[in-house]
Structure 1
Amino acid sequence: MVTAPSRSSERQRTVPADPASAYRTDLDGLRGIAITLVACFHIWFGRVSGGVDVFLTLSGYFFVGSLLKHVIVTQSPSVTLRDAINPLTRLTRLARRLLPALITVLLIVTVLTIVVLPQTRWVATGREVVASALYYQNWFLAFNSQDYAAASSANSPLQHLWSMSVQGQFFVVTILTALAFGGVIKLASTVVPQLRRPAVIRAIVATAIIGVAAVSFYWAHMRMPINQQFNYYDTIARTWEPLAGGLLAVWMPRWRVPTVLRNLVAVAALALIVTCGWWIVGVESYPGPLALVPVLATLAIIWSGATATQRGTRVDMPVINRGLASRFPVWLGSISYALYLWHWPLLIFYLAWRDSNDATFVEGVLLIALSIALAWLTKRYVEDPLRSSRPGTKKVGQHRADGAATSDSLRDPVLPTRSSRGRRARAAMLSYTGALTTLLVVGVLVAGVGIKAWERHVDNIVVDTTNLDPRIYPGARALIEGVPVPSVDPVPKALEVLKDLPETSYQGNISDFKDPDIHVAVYGDPTATKTIALAGGSHAEYWISALDLLGKQNHFRVTTYLKFGCPLSVDPNVSVDGVPYPACRTWVERVMDRLIADKPDAVFTNSTRPRQGIVGEWVPPDYLPIFDRFKQAGIPVLGVRDSVWPHNGKGAIDSPTCLAEGGDAKSCGTPRDPEYGMANPTDAIVADYPNVHPIDLSRGWCTDTLCPAIIGNISVYHDWHHLSATFVRSLAPELERQMKLVFPWA
């Protein structure tokens, strides 16, 4: 085991003897293995490796150990209460070690976003830049995991920084808690001197860690079936992982275990860390009980080398620990923070540039090589200069608190610089660090202002296509009626179509995911005697743009009963993107009672939906009891066929982004599946439900072979699978024709 140098008595006093804070090169190597797993699994396998869980555990081990040492040492009468509880030094040191590399990467990501990504993605990426810089990226992703717009988050160049946010939040809360605890002990020990004893302090800290970790672990396990997408990013659910490492720093088992057994433990632990990514689906399982595999394996490796660390020799160290302490793993561990920051953005920008979902083996190797090179440059020319407490000094080896950033110790051991460097070297270093700091600060200000300016620009975009010339922009009529289509640029443009939403969305007349209320609004002709109720989820909502127009023309009222992600269904296990959505079932029950009581002349709602995510159209069996209840109440149903959900052989298509990247109607379009055939599945249920009248407008958005992204010079979709309001209005004539076959007054 490589121990801290001991050429002077001063350095012997500054290097900690506690194994929890002693320098462990094998753990540097473990960090190198972990970042390798993270990068490889991201690039080639599209899975979670467990490497992040290793980082979290190591973070807790070193960070809690460092803070515990601070609390114990500051109980000395020679240390004032103010010095004992002052958080500024530690918070400043933490910022100096975490922020330079992060800011550098964020600035480059901002530039690459403008150069590589389409404008439709600038706002989302800009918001993630801000969220990452302020360490709430995990919450940003968590709260957007249920949002329709979040479908693109899987390709975000900053998605990986959720773990940095979790660790940053853990560090700050732990610092403040530890210093407050130390202050309380210091005050209380004037009355009860026994409280300042290290053994007592350790016992109190261990008890608190066990309690908080138990609550966090229970929360992580309990939330898995409720909302695993949110749970995965949740700091509360993740806290038990660094606390597990922290507990080992507080209490390291002193068992006398034969070297052979410790070798077996280390081998088994490393094997679990390396392989768990293949046999554990981490996105579905972490941070629940299965996260114990990489966490406990990390603790086992820490423990297996602890005895050798205590004895100050490598002789007793298990073979695995000695291997981890070898040169290359340790070097890889030294750049792990920067490597973690760089590898994911490079992958995402490369795939976006190539318009591909996967990297080949050769491409992956080149991406990793480039990531390593950038990580080394970042560490050498950004991290190290700005981490030094003063120019011209170098630090005795320190562990990095987050598996990436150097941990705080009570006092950093500092070695005097050699006199040969002289004042000019120190002046040059001061000049360099000053220039670098200025560059980063200016870059942050420019990027921040630019992001906010672009957000404001997008927010101020107004889409008004209500008076388009139908001869130039025929939309759906180009397919249905075969009218000629002039050669002009389509509308709305790719960036504008994102705002081309139904009137109900702009006016707040649709319940969001958390809103339990029923918002009934009136459109069309409010004074009319005939009423059509538009009811269901967002795929029913977008029809308001045509129904409102027809209601005004033909003098019928349109009342709305709408909720995001909530079609009229009796499904007891409604979910949105895999997230349970029990509020939908309750809302549907209340809406059905309200509709029966209001008794409109007809209900307009969806009658079909994809069977398997984006393909496989059918009439869901859970819709039939709804139709039956309307039949019993004597209420006709206009059952509209669902539109195509854009997709190709690579998966779902974000049509606006595809068009913004230079795609066209065909390349961004959807090949017409055999399962989305010429026959409307609703026709098959009419015999049993004569009150259901099929409305099929598919001829307006599909030919026999293709469902284009642009039809009649109008962009068809405003996001992944919702029709744009402009295109829906172009369907109004055909919708009117079909409705009049059922209700002449419509």
Structure 2
Amino acid sequence: MADQKSDSPSGDAVKAAYRSDLDGLRGIAIALVACFHVWFGRVSGGVDVFLTLSGYFFIGSLVRHAVHSQSTNIGFGDTVSPWPRLKRLLRRLLPALYTVLIVVSVLTTIVIAQTRWLNIGREVFASALYYQNFHLARNSQDYLAASSANSPLQHLWSMSMQGQFFVGALLVLLAIAGALKLLAARFPVVARATVIRSVFAVVILAAAVASFLWAQHRLHIDQPYNYYDTFSRLWEPLVGGLLAIWMPAVRVPSWLRSGVTVAALLVIATCGWWIDGVAEYPGPLAWVPVGSTLLIIWAGHVAAGEPRPLANRLLAGKRPVWLGTMSYSLYLIHWPLLIFYLTWNSIDHANAVEGTAILAVSLGLSWLMKRYVEDPMRGGGRSSMTHIRWPRHPRITYPAILTVVLVLLSAGTAGAITAWDRHVAGVQVDTTNLDPTLYPGARALLNGAPVPALDPQPTPLAAASDLPQTYFDGVMVEMDVTTPAVGVYGDKNGSKTIALAGGSHTEMWLSALDTIAKRNRIKIVTYVKRGCPITTDENPAYLERVPYPECFAWNNEVMADLLRTRPDAVVTNSTRPAESGPGDFVPQGYINAFKKLTDAGIPVVGIRDTPWPGNDQGPIDTPMCLSDGGNSTSCGTVRARALNAVDPGIAYAERDPLFYALDFSDGICTATFCPAVIGNIMVYRDIHHLTQTYVRSLTFEVQRQLGAVLPWTALVPVPR
């Protein structure tokens, strides 16, 4: 990882005694990160060790620079200039990172389905510009165990977070150093090292406390975002920096310090087993790896001339230090290598032998990266490249050639990604007027319509854009918004009104309902929010993983508006997949919401949720599966896996005369199977949303069932 050593530039303060035992700690940490990723599919706490060490080294170096600038004739400009350190950061971090990004881009086109190229390309940009953590957070990508469905760049969130920390700390702390330099001219007491350290400590402590409190607050609100959030993570390197400013001078026997180091190492090595880091970090439990790292740093800090404790000397051994020196390259390489291997073999887990081979190859590639990319760019490269006969021209050196090659390859990669982005953006989803004799869709199941041999529509690349009109109109409310945005569709001057209310699984029926409404003089008003069904649950879960209080707040406002405006009917979804095991069910929170509306005399039409594609290996992304060589059967779903034999909504409909249960499953599945393609139309646009093209092919069936319970919706029939 990108930990910073105490490598002050020439003219800075005298360097602190080099801590080779902390290089060994890096080696232990990267071994834990890689092994837990490859073999165990868990978070180890190793990243938290790296963050703490980064703060200790980087902030310590900045504080020594501030102290040194007061005690010498270093000018104000040199005191506050970030460029020397920033230049060194760029030389340390970018060459290896960009090499990996270039290779990942090439391997993506070879190994991964085209439907994923766009997302991975955007992650390449996000990683190159150090905002990958926020890109993942905003796209709701939980930090999950490795599988073939993961991004090969998911792990680079921590590199982005560290890069943001380095730049932010550099600018803020150098600005403070400059301010102290100016004050010292008038108030000499400010030039004292104790005063400078105290000022830095107060600022860093305040920021660390604020960050920790924020992380704790967000832990129970939006943990997937919290996990990636720089401000939530900031306290971890900051407490490492505080230890660099003030190291407790407690005289304890060497054997006790060794015992502390051994105990802390055991905690770091095992915490990945008894702490669910994805669910808990960077909240209070992150103090386990962070605090253990602080203890190891403290235990090895001894007076000049004194031997370090035995345990710390063992950490400074040849093998741990060797591994620690490769930690950055090994971190960059092991994850994409694992993901590409899993994807190439269409598996989700590596067995013991495969995992060992992946780790061995990662080590070999990391050694090559360090020797031929990292070392030459960090230190000029001559020492590691002496066997090569270079031209005598002083500007033609290995680092210079490597820089030119990396710049050209990076530019080419960026250009290729941009061209692909434009290509995908230019793919038009124009399936609104498909010939029903060529693309019968649901009619093939419901009416036995013949199906000619044609490629399905939409294409896998276009399917992701086959969205309801609410998406393009901006009235689908995002997860962090609590105020409803109302869209109006159908006949805007219609004599009857249907409210379409709920999450995206309600929203996806808009294309069929819009056609029905326009023919029957019905106005449709939409209240739709991402991942938020109509429910009274105070703590609803998004995909059973994340507390979602914004959904509860939004539901309260929607319910109040429905009871005030009193539409002629509310259409929503009535079921969701069972929380464990096969089948589906009606959550009690849904029932409570339905009852509120029907008690007010408002009819509720509950549409049974569609099957969520999947098999024994997990969810199926239909476009990805098809573009990766799958077919309608291999990318389909056994019906009994996704649905009960009878719609669970019927039982509630029998108790509430104003609730009507509709079930379109027979238009999506046969009696036993739910194919990925029906009547030459791709059924799903992702892992569980119908394409609007397929919804349109179901319009006649939607009207048939809807007209049976609300006759005014079928006065003018739609074509079959």
Q: How far apart are the structure 1 equivalents of 2:140 and 2:578?
A: 22
Correspondence 1:452-463 to 2 at 5 A: 452-463=418-429
Larger deviation: 715-724 or 610-619?
610-619
Contact 1:146 1:579 in 2 (8 A): no
Residue identity opposite 1:574 in structure 2: P
Give the direction of change, closer, same or farther, for the CA distance of 1:357–1:422 in structure 2 (3 Å limit).
closer
Please report how far the alpha carbon of residue 28 of structure 1 lies from its aligned counterpart in structure 2 after TM superposition.
0.9
**1:279 aligns with one of 274, 277, 284:** 274
Contact 2:147 2:342 in 1 (8 A): no
1:172 lines up with 2:172 in the alignment = no
Helix, strand or coil at the partner of 1:603: strand
Matches within 5 A, 1:557-636: 557-577=523-543, 578-612=545-579, 615-636=582-603
- For the 8 Å contact 2:112–2:343, the answer to whether it is kept is yes
Mapped partners of 1:303, 1:427: distance in 2: 49
Query: Helix, strand or coil for the counterpart of 1:559?
Result: strand
- State the AA in 1 paired with 2:657: P
In the alignment, which residue of structure 1 is the partner of 2:717? none
Q: How many Å separate the matches in 2 of 1:509 and 1:719?
A: 21
Cα distance change on mapping 1:211 and 1:743 into 2, 3 Å:
closer
User: Residue 639 of structure 2 corresponds to which residue in structure 1?
Assistant: 672
| Residues 640 and 430 (structure 1), Cα distance of their counterparts in 2 relative to 1, 3 Å cut | same
* Structure 1 residue 550, shift from structure 2 partner: 2.0
The equivalent position to 1:46 in structure 2, one of 17, 41, 56, is 41
CA-CA distance at 1:603 after TM superposition: 2.0
1:480 aligns with 2:471: no
Aligned-pair CA distance for 1:490 = 0.8
Q: Tell me if the contact between 1:614 and 1:646 (Cα under 8 Å) persists in the aligned partners.
A: no
Residue 196 of structure 1: which of 191, 216, 236 is its match? 191
Partners of 1:637 and 1:691 within 8 A in 2: yes
Tell me which of 301, 304, 309 is aligned to 1:311: 304
Shift of 1:609: 1.4
- Superposition deviation, residue 34 in structure 1: 0.5
- How far residue 508 of structure 1 moved from its aligned partner, in angstroms, is 2.3
How do 1:7-46 and structure 2 match up within 5 A? 21-46=16-41
1:737 aligns with 2:704: yes
| Structure 1 CA distance for aligned equivalents of residues 481 and 636 of structure 2 | 34
Partner SS state of residue 464, structure 2: helix
Match of 1:378 among 369, 378, 383: 369
State how far apart, in whole Å, the 1-side matches of 2:487 and 2:241 are.
55
Give the whole-Å Cα distance in 1 for the aligned partners of 2:493 and 2:179. Answer: 71
Q: Which runs of 5+ in 1 are unaligned?
A: 1-10, 395-416
Q: Which is worse superposed, 77-86 or 107-116?
A: 77-86
- 2:222 aligns with 227
Q: Separation in 2 of the partners of 1:243 and 1:514?
A: 28
State the Cα distance separating 1:109 from its structure 2 match.
0.8
Match of 1:117 in 2: 112
CA contact (8 A) 2:498 2:523 kept: yes
- Kindly report structure 1 stretches of 4+ aligned residues shifted beyond 4 Å: 13-18, 151-154, 390-394, 420-429
Relative distance call for 1:516 and 1:292 in structure 2 (3 A) is closer
SS class of match (2:524): strand
One-letter amino acid of the structure 2 residue matched with residue 311 of structure 1: A
Q: For residue 17 of structure 1, report the CA deviation from its aligned partner.
A: 6.5
Q: Which moved more, 1:611-620 or 1:637-646?
A: 611-620
How does 1:640-719 map onto structure 2 within 5 Å?
640-673=607-640, 676-719=643-686
For 1:156, the equivalent position in structure 2 comes to 151
Report Cα offsets for 1:531-554 as digits up to 9, x if no partner: 332222111111111111222344
Distance 1:190 1:353 in 2: 65
Shift of 1:393: 6.3
SS of the aligned residue for 1:99 comes to helix
CA pair 90-111 structure 1, distance change in 2 beyond 3 A: same
Name the aligned partner's letter for residue 630 of structure 1.
L
RMSD over aligned Cα atoms: 2.5
Identify which range, 512-521 or 660-669, moves more after superposition.
512-521
1:392–1:429 contact (8 Å) kept in structure 2 = no
CA spacing shift, 1:268–1:569, aligned 2, 3 Å: same
Shift in CA distance, 674/125, structure 1 to aligned 2, threshold 3 Å: closer
1:450 aligned to 2:443?
Answer: no
| Matching of residue 137 in structure 1 with residue 121 in structure 2 | no
In the other structure, the counterpart of 1:405 is none
Output aligned runs, 1:479-518, within 5 Å: 479-518=445-484
CA change 1:698–1:204 in 2 (3 A) is same
- Note closer, same or farther for the CA distance 1:730–1:184 as it changes in structure 2 (3 Å cut): same
Q: Offset of 1:421 from its aligned partner? A: 9.6
1:437 equivalenced with 2:394 (yes/no): no
The separation in 2 between residues aligned to 1:301 and 1:121, in whole angstroms, is 43
Give yes or no for contact 1:343–1:371 (8 Å, CA) kept in 2. Answer: yes
Corresponding residue of 2:3: none
2:213 matched to which residue of 1?
Answer: 218
Q: 1:435 deviation in Å?
A: 1.6
Read off the aligned partner of 1:568 and give its amino acid letter: I
Q: 1:556 aligns with which of 502, 522, 538?
A: 522
Per-residue CA deviations over 1:451-481 (Å, capped at 9, x if unaligned) read 2222222223221112112122111122222
Give yes or no for contact 2:184–2:190 (8 Å, CA) kept in 1: yes
Aligned to 1:558, the other structure's residue is in SS state strand
State TM-score, norm by structure 1.
0.89
Give how far 1:101 is off: 0.4
1:70-469 maps to which residues of 2 (within 5 A)? Answer: 70-145=65-140, 155-307=150-302, 310-312=303-305, 316-388=307-379, 390=380, 392=382, 430-469=396-435
Contact kept? 1:709, 1:715, Cα under 8 Å: yes
Contact 2:147–2:339, Cα closer than 8 Å, also in 1: no
3-state DSSP of counterpart to 1:526: coil
Q: Contact between 1:16 and 1:22, CA under 8 Å: does it hold in 2?
A: no
The separation in 2 between residues aligned to 1:429 and 1:380, in whole angstroms, is 21
- Structure 1 residues 146, 555: closer, same or farther in 2, change over 3 A? farther
Shift of the alpha carbon at 1:121? 0.8
Shift, 1:391, TM fit: 5.8
CA, structure 1 residues 254+634, in 2 after alignment: closer, same or farther (shift >3 Å)? closer
Q: In the alignment, what sits opposite 1:410? A: none
**Secondary structure, in 3 states, of the residue corresponding to 1:635?**
coil
Using the TM superposition, give the Cα deviation of residue 152 of structure 1 relative to its aligned residue in structure 2, in angstroms: 9.9
**Structure 2 counterpart SS, 1:594:** helix
Structure 2 gaps, min length 5: 1-7, 715-720
Moved more, 55-64 or 428-437: 428-437
Name the SS of the counterpart of 1:673 in structure 2. helix
CA distance in 1 between partners of 2:458 and 2:661 (Å): 30
Tell me the amino acid that sits aligned with residue 162 of structure 1.
W
Could you tell me which amino acid in structure 2 is paired with residue 386 of structure 1?
M
**Aligned with 1:68 (options 63, 74, 86):** 63
Q: Percent of counterpart pairs with the same letter?
A: 54
Give the structure-2-normalised TM-score: 0.93
Letter aligned with residue 229 of structure 1: P
Q: Judging changes above 3 Å, is the alpha-carbon distance between structure 1 residues 170 and 154 closer, same or farther for their aligned structure 2 residues?
A: farther
Q: Deviations over 1:590-619 (max 9, x none)?
A: 322332333333222111112317954111
Give secondary structure in 2 for the equivalent of 1:75. Answer: helix
Structure 1 CA distance for aligned equivalents of residues 299 and 481 of structure 2: 52
